[in-house]
């Protein structure tokens, strides 16, 4: 590869600047609103990928066939001014500036602040932009500071800070992975966030490129070039978005404004979701699933859905998508009805590949619905679960139409409520295999990570067309940028181990900072040994506070991870699953905020406390919303938990006892097996729905003490939980305004929106030091939500 050099302005800039290099490469530059800069490098023979599926804004919906890569529709490019001298070109627009050195070509990005122009990111001085003149590879090298940290890159193993690692951009089925070291895994998110400790500034770098690639974050050292980081891709275009912060929250929110809003699922999707492969593998699978319903009732386990594993499609132990095994499932429609009667929905597993003996293979071959071989006019063959297979090509409109029709006929028409898009990593090894490309044949290297995105979109559209009034709900294991627009996800087929419990939590931090808010982990571990009682309890305690709460397994000994799997700890598990049910109003409100405001449901502590150095240290805590700090136990045999409490003057109260602790210190608290330490910011309120045993329909706000005066407003969003009606105003928004001080507390409830909430009354209670408070809460405690004052 050779470096780009000899840059010159090809024409006077307007809102776009076009520079040309000595060898004919064209650099397109935009400075966009909201602190986002963009560089697109076009080769002399044009773009490798003329469309993108990663960018979707509120004002520019994404067509199924993709968005023209050169487009800046919906991104508000700013008018540019230019200054030139012999050495460099300086472009300024809005609050951004980019300085381009002519020879060799290198860029430095700045943002306007009160102190002038503050640096965001700059290329290394030597050979920053390298392109393969005979092939399709390129590399981008950026200067690396000694005090910087790197976050993001989606679902990656190990610590939240990726500094010093080399991580691949690829998608694989990594069953039983090591949560500390394995790479790559199931997601390909070429987005990283750089944070400089010296000034606290965070900057995002998003490479809109879905080809196989790698981030080197300090693993490589070369004496000729100083300290650097790099992004190197095997194909595609260098299409870079530089996203200004200065905080991690601002960077991630702007990234989501580029790549699309988090989908807002139905309320039932935030309840416990049961799943295990064992049920659908059984010869009497439908009867076994009926037993699950009975066991939930028998053990008093609240459950909102069940994820139907792919065994329902089996023939002689292999999986055949859209093929019901009627020996195991004699009446699928009755199965769905039985679950609906128990207030549970079914999400059916679907896979995007067809084994070569699939009974309907020729049907898809006839309309050319598979990814094609690189050298012959036949479908590409790859090894899939159960044998050789062909992979459906979702860049072919005929495939999309067929898929949507089958989702409707085979699942939705029978009463299945949701799709579980699984095994969608598209592991065809040949990068030269051919995709339809919506009429423009394209090598698989440029579209492998796109296939799961388009599979999700096809499934989502099928659900939307089948039931236009209902909000679709999907689950997907694999994906790339934009996954959040369509589906809930999880960290794949993890391995049962204490180490996994810790590092899945830290992997979740990476998901959040990369804009993947609706996620979870397989509780108890998917692959490997059966979890012992202690490990299972600690996994449940962590999982009840995450958006996706699913117990799922394929244990080595054939056993099944279920809430009642260990009788000796069932009372503890039940208590926490009841707590999960009570947390649904909070989780649902946070999911609404994630969709409408790009705010996370859970987050690392640094999200809410970016100026507290203690929150940047690797830790095993997370925030639920902005008020709850969850500190799960992740060490075997532990009966206490040390953690750092973020600095805030109101301090922190223990959720269950109300005991107060000052912020900005490390504390040790009791954590026997039946307890997961959780803290609430002083003066804040936690909304809890009725317990499963409570038929009163009361929504309870628990208010916590503060040694300093605090004014808080806690919001609960409610609607019918199923439809799009909230967008037309059919919702209820309850706000509890609380004034809490060292000596007294009072609260006032207001309601906005015409929809009556599903709770009949509200109760406000003081916890800990506020337990004796009566006067400030008594009126609210008597108040009916239906007659609460209008805001």
Residue 531 lies in a domain: no
Residues 33, 118, single domain; the answer is yes
Cα 49 to Cα 137, 413, 443, 482, distances in angstroms:
13, 38, 10, 17
- Domain count along the chain: 3
Residues 58, 104, single domain; the answer is yes
User: Alpha-carbon distance 437 to 371, whole Å?
Assistant: 10
Q: What percent of the chain has pLDDT over 70?
A: 100
Q: What is the dihedral of CA 180, 183, 186, 187, to 10 degrees?
A: 100
Q: What is the dihedral of CA 138, 143, 144, 146, to 10 degrees?
A: 160
What is the per-residue pLDDT for 33?
Answer: 93
Per DSSP, helices labelled H in 326-410 are 332-341, 361-366, 397-410
Residue 192: which CATH number? 2.60.40.1760
Tokens matching residue 37: 């800069």
| Crossing angle for the helix pair 498-513 and 248-259, to the nearest 10 degrees | 70
As a residue count, the chain comes to 791
Residue position matching structure tokens 């495939």? 399
Residue 327 lies in a domain: no
User: Alpha-carbon distance 466 to 589, whole Å?
Assistant: 26
- pLDDT, mean over the chain: 96
Residues 118, 189, single domain; the answer is yes
What is the per-residue pLDDT for 791?
Answer: 63
Residue position matching structure tokens 């090598």? 443
DSSP structure class, residue 411: T
Per DSSP, helices labelled H in 569-689 are 570-597, 605-608
Residue pair 419/348 in contact (Cβ under 8 Å)? The answer is yes
Residues 27, 150, single domain; the answer is yes
Q: How confident is the model over 327-339, as a mean pLDDT?
A: 98
Cis peptide before 184 (omega within 30 of 0): yes
Tokens matching residue 449: 């990570």
Residue pair 769/787 in contact (Cβ under 8 Å)? The answer is no
Residue 436 lies in a domain: no
Residue pair 777/703 in contact (Cβ under 8 Å)? The answer is yes
Residue 227 lies in a domain: yes
User: Alpha-carbon distance 597 to 582, whole Å?
Assistant: 24
Picking from 661, 681, 701, the residue at the C-terminal end of a domain is 681
Residue 194 lies in a domain: yes
φ and ψ at residue 599, rounded to 5 degrees = -95, 145
DSSP structure class, residue 757: P
Q: Over 5-24, what HEC string results? A: CCCEECCCCCCCEEEECCCC
What is the per-residue pLDDT for 463?
Answer: 98
Residue 348 lies in a domain: no
Residue 274 has pLDDT above 90, yes or no: yes
User: Alpha-carbon distance 212 to 201, whole Å?
Assistant: 29
Residue pair 19/26 in contact (Cβ under 8 Å)? The answer is yes
Pairing of β 519-520 and β 488-490: parallel
Residue pair 402/361 in contact (Cβ under 8 Å)? The answer is no
The contacts of residue 433 (CB under 8 Å, 6+ apart) are 371, 372, 373, 374, 380, 443, 444
Residue 632 lies in a domain: yes
User: Alpha-carbon distance 725 to 266, whole Å?
Assistant: 12
Residue pair 200/610 in contact (Cβ under 8 Å)? The answer is yes
Residue pair 195/229 in contact (Cβ under 8 Å)? The answer is no
Cα 766 to Cα 625, 659, 686, 694, 783, distances in angstroms:
20, 12, 11, 20, 16
User: Alpha-carbon distance 568 to 534, whole Å?
Assistant: 10
Picking from 681, 705, 729, the residue at the C-terminal end of a domain is 681
The string of pLDDT tens digits covering residues 66-123 is 999 999 999 999 999 999 999 999 999 999 999 999 999 999 999 999 889 999 999 9
User: Alpha-carbon distance 349 to 314, whole Å?
Assistant: 12
Pairing of β 81-84 and β 88-93: antiparallel
Bin 650: left if φ > 0, else alpha if -120 < ψ < 50, else beta: alpha
Cis peptide before 246 (omega within 30 of 0): yes
| Strand (E) or helix (H) holding 109 | strand 106-113
Q: What residue numbers bound the domain in which 183 lies?
A: 2-259
Residue pair 415/401 in contact (Cβ under 8 Å)? The answer is no
Picking from 650, 681, 712, the residue at the C-terminal end of a domain is 681
Using alpha carbons, select from 145, 139, 119, 120 the residue that is nearest to residue 242.
Answer: 120
Residues 35, 151, single domain; the answer is yes
**DSSP codes, 233-261:** ESSS-EEEEEEE-SSHHHHHHHHHHHH-P
Pairing of β 622-624 and β 554-555: unpaired
User: Alpha-carbon distance 131 to 26, whole Å?
Assistant: 12
The contacts of residue 462 (CB under 8 Å, 6+ apart) are 403, 404, 405, 407, 408, 412, 419
The string of pLDDT tens digits covering residues 365-374 is 999 999 999 9
Q: In angstroms, how far is the first alpha carbon of the chain from the final one? A: 63
Residues 119, 206, single domain; the answer is yes
Using alpha carbons, select from 624, 652, 625, 632 the residue that is nearest to residue 768.
Answer: 652
User: Alpha-carbon distance 514 to 667, whole Å?
Assistant: 30
Radius of gyration of the chain (CA): 27
Residues 630, 760, single domain; the answer is no
Residue 337 lies in a domain: no
User: Alpha-carbon distance 518 to 548, whole Å?
Assistant: 7
Residues 132, 201, single domain; the answer is yes
User: Alpha-carbon distance 24 to 27, whole Å?
Assistant: 10
Residues 224, 182, single domain; the answer is yes
The string of pLDDT tens digits covering residues 723-779 is 999 999 999 999 999 999 988 899 999 999 999 899 989 999 999 999 888 778 888
Tokens matching residue 758: 């599903």
DSSP structure class, residue 404: H
The string of pLDDT tens digits covering residues 163-222 is 999 999 999 999 999 999 999 999 999 999 999 998 999 999 999 999 999 999 999 999
Residues 49, 114, single domain; the answer is yes
Q: Quote the pTM value.
A: 0.97
Residue 609: which CATH number? 2.60.40.1180
Q: How confident is the model over 586-607, as a mean pLDDT?
A: 98
Question: 3-class DSSP state for residue 537?
Answer: helix
Cα 671 to Cα 197, 222, 233, 264, 622, distances in angstroms:
33, 48, 47, 34, 17
User: What residues does 470 pair with on adjacent strands?
Assistant: 723
The string of pLDDT tens digits covering residues 390-445 is 999 999 999 999 999 999 999 999 999 999 999 999 999 999 999 999 999 999 99
User: Alpha-carbon distance 462 to 418, whole Å?
Assistant: 10
Residues 714, 653, single domain; the answer is no
The contacts of residue 59 (CB under 8 Å, 6+ apart) are 73, 74
Residues 21, 157, single domain; the answer is yes
Residue 586 has pLDDT above 80, yes or no: yes
């Amino acid at each position: 590869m050779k470096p780009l050099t000899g840059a010159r302005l090809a024409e006077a800039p307007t809102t776009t600047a076009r520079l040309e290099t000595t060898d004919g490469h064209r650099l397109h530059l935009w400075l966009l609103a909201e602190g986002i800069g963009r560089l697109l490098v076009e080769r002399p023979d044009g773009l490798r990928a003329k469309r993108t599926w990663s960018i979707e804004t509120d004002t520019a919906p994404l067509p199924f066939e993709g968005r023209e890569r050169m487009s800046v529709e919906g991104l508000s490019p700013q008018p540019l001014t230019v200054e030139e001298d012999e050495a460099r070109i300086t472009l300024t627009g809005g609050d951004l500036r980019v300085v381009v050195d002519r020879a060799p070509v290198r860029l430095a990005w700045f943002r306007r602040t009160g102190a002038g122009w503050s640096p965001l990111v700059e290329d290394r001085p030597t050979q920053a932009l390298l392109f393969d003149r005979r092939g399709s590879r390129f590399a981008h090298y950026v200067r690396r500071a000694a005090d910087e940290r790197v976050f993001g890159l989606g679902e990656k193993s190990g610590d939240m800070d990726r500094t010093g690692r080399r991580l691949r951009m690829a998608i694989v089925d990594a069953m039983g992975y090591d949560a500390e070291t394995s790479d790559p895994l199931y997601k390909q998110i070429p987005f990283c966030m750089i944070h400089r400790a010296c000034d606290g500034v965070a900057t995002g770098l998003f490479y809109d490129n879905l080809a196989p690639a790698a981030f080197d974050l300090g693993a490589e050292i070369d004496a000729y070039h100083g300290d650097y980081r790099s992004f190197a891709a095997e194909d595609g275009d260098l299409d870079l978005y530089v996203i200004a912060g200065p905080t991690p929250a601002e960077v991630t929110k702007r990234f989501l404004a580029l790549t699309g809003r988090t989908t807002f699922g139905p309320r039932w999707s935030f309840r416990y979701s049961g799943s295990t492969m064992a049920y659908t593998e059984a010869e009497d699978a439908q009867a076994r699933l009926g037993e699950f319903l009975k066991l939930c009732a028998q053990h008093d386990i609240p459950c909102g859905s069940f994820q139907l594993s792919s065994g329902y499609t089996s023939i002689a132990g292999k999986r055949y998508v859209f093929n019901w095994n009627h020996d195991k499932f004699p009446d699928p429609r009755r199965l769905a009805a039985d679950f609906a009667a128990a207030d549970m929905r079914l999400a059916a597993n679907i896979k995007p590949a067809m084994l070569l003996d699939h009974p309907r293979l020729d049907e898809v071959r006839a309309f050319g619905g598979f990814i094609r071989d690189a050298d012959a006019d036949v479908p590409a063959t790859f090894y899939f679960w159960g044998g050789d297979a062909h992979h459906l090509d979702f860049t072919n409109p005929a495939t999309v139409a067929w898929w949507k029709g089958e989702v409707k006929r085979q699942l939705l028409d029978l009463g299945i409520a949701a799709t579980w898009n699984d095994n969608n990593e598209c592991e065809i090894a040949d990068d030269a295999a051919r995709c339809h490309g919506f009429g423009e044949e394209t090598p698989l290297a440029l579209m492998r990570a796109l296939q799961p995105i388009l599979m999700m979109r096809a499934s989502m559209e099928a659900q939307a067309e089948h039931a236009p009034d209902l909000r679709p709900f999907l689950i997907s294991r694999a994906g790339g940028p934009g996954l959040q627009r369509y589906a809930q996800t999880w960290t794949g087929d993890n391995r049962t181990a204490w180490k996994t419990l810790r590092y899945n939590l830290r992997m979740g931090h990476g998901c959040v900072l990369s804009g993947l808010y609706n996620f979870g982990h397989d509780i108890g571990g998917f692959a490997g040994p059966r979890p012992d009682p202690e490990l299972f309890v600690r996994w449940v305690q962590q999982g009840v506070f995450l958006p996706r709460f699913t117990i799922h397994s394929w244990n080595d000994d054939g056993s099944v991870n279920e809430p009642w799997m260990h009788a000796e700890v069932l009372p503890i598990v039940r208590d926490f699953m009841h707590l999960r049910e009570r947390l649904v109003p909070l989780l649902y409100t946070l999911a609404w905020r994630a969709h409408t405001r790009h705010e996370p449901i859970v987050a690392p502590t640094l999200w809410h406390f970016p100026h507290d150095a203690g929150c940047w240290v690797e830790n095993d805590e997370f925030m639920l919303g902005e008020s709850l700090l969850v500190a799960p136990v992740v060490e075997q045999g532990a009966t206490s938990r040390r953690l750092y409490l973020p600095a805030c003057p109101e301090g922190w109260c223990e959720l269950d006892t109300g005991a107060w602790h000052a912020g900005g210190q490390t504390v040790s608290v009791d954590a026997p097996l039946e307890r997961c330490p959780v803290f609430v910011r002083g003066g804040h309120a936690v909304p809890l729905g009725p317990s499963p045993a409570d038929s009163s329909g009361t929504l309870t706000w628990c208010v916590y003490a503060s040694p300093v005066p605090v004014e808080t407003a806690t919001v609960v969003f409610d609607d019918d939980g199923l439809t799009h009606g909230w967008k037309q105003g059919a919702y209820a928004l309850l706000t509890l305004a609380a004034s809490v001080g060292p000596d007294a507390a009072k609260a006032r409830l207001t309601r906005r929106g015409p929809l009556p909430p599903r709770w009949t009354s509200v109760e406000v209670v003081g916890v800990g030091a506020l337990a004796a408070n009566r006067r400030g809460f008594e009126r609210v405690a008597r108040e009916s939500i239906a007659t609460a004052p209008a805001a």
